[in-house]
Structure 1
Amino acid sequence: MHRRNECDKILLVHGIWMTGIEMSRLRWYLSGHGFDVETFSYHSLRRTPEENAEQLQQFIKRRQYECVHLVAHSLGGIVLLNLFDRYPDQPPGRVVLLGAPVQGSMVARRLFAHPLTRWLIGKAGVRGLIEGAPPWRGQRELGVIAGTSGVGMGRLVGGLYGESDGTVMVSETQIPAAVASHSHSVGHMGMLFSARVASDVAGFLKTGHFSEQQA
């Protein structure tokens, strides 16, 4: 077991169609790296990312964190950008986004365009999967991880080009203000179960760099 870190709190934020249980493996990995990990759960379809950011703000205030790292997957990353856009004064800590389509999602746009599949996106498109997230306004170190396996449900919908995790294109995850970015040959959901991805997340939260940048 690793020793506790100076800032040892992590709050995980899940993606669309999820409850947070899907992040249990990642939570277990990060706990093994010496972190105390919690999960924020929200309704991904019934509320907009901005509304869920309000719920997240209240969750953080109730916890009264002195320092907390934030790690978000997929739509959860868009919720975080909405959080920092509306409530920039957050407790100190670093941020990692996993496969988050902050530039908007081509797969989501295709699903939303069809009447029979529009319900699969719900309200997640507003300042989110359809429109794209607000610009990053957090005054802290931000790391971005993308998947490149190319295998996922997005292939069934179509519209993907270039490198992708099978659901989200690498280009859709890019944030110019990020201090570091890294990619792994994993799928969109597979990154939540990858020990290598978890090690990358832990390393960034401890140092502000991904492993290959620590020379």
Structure 2
Amino acid sequence: MTRASRRPIDPRAARTPRAAVDSAPREHVILLHGIWMRGITLLPLARRLRQAGYSVETIDYASVFRGIQPAVTRLRERMQAQDAGAVHLVGHSLGSLVALEATRGVRGLPKGGIVCIGPPLRGSAVARALTAFPGGRLLLGQSAEPLLEGVDAWKGSRRVGVIAGKLPFGLGITLGPLVAPHDGTVSVEETQLPGISDHRTVDASHTGLLFSSEVADLTVAFLRAGRFAPTPR
């Protein structure tokens, strides 16, 4: 053993890097599911986000019986309750509309980005087709209006990234024509909205978007940089 290796190590110096890491505010992500779904469907995405270093929670809401407004109110409360360096929102389908409406024109919320996955931002042709069937509107419940009408152009300060699917498999194609490309439920055209920061399409169906490793990687990239990673050439 050399003289240098026997030199005592100051334990305070050894602990300093870890202490600095622990004291840094962790960034938080809130996940929101779509209509007819529950938070459990977001577990694979939540796991990938935790592996990337984020703390994660999921908000469950009664999409049919209560609509999006109670979820909007609860989401704002959860955002304000967080002691984090940033609070990001990630929504699937209808959950994306909840995320946008919760932050639209609202001051005093923590900073952070928004990722919308398979969102019917311009309204859903499948939802409109469903209302043509007896009892179809009842299946949409209190979320009928946002699904039929979509949302206004985005003018908020938060950066918004949109991921759309283009694998045409899903119940939606049995209800009526969808403009191609689409994910079986939402067309790529319906996911495009003036004011968003970035847009990407992937080979996944509407439900498959939730289990796609590519979607998870794109989500992490956007939350870190405010844009999606460049498409490989």
| TM-score (normalizing by structure 2) | 0.84
Correspondence for 1:125 among 103, 128, 144: 144
* Displacement over 4 Å in runs of 4+: 3-7
Contact 1:148/1:185, CA 8 A, preserved across alignment: yes
Higher mean C-alpha displacement, 138-147 vs 54-63:
54-63
CA 1:88 to 1:185, structure 2 compared with 1: closer, same or farther past 3 Å? farther
1:15 corresponding residue in structure 2: 34
Please report the RMSD computed on the Cα atoms of aligned residues, expressed in angstroms.
2.2
Q: What does residue range 37-186 of structure 1 map to in structure 2 within 5 Å?
A: 37-85=56-104, 87-126=106-145, 128-186=146-204
CA distance in 2, matches of 1:54, 1:137: 20
- SS of the residue corresponding to residue 69 of structure 1 reads strand
CA distance in 2, matches of 1:49, 1:82: 9
CA 1:157 to 1:203, structure 2 compared with 1: closer, same or farther past 3 Å? same
Q: How far has the Cα of 1:116 moved from its partner?
A: 2.7
Ranked by relative contact order (alpha carbons within 8 Å, sequence separation 6 or more), the top structure is 1
Q: How far has the Cα of 1:110 moved from its partner?
A: 1.1
1:136-175 deviation line (CA, Å, top 9, x unaligned): 2421211110000011111111121221011001111112
Q: Whose radius of gyration is greater, 1 or 2? A: 2
Q: Does 1:196 align with 2:214?
A: yes
Aligned residues: 212
Q: Does 1:207 align with 2:219?
A: no
2:3 corresponding residue in structure 1: none
Contact 2:80/2:109, CA 8 A, preserved across alignment: no
1:108-157 deviation line (CA, Å, top 9, x unaligned): 1111232232222111122x101212332421211110000011111111
How many percent identity over aligned positions? 37
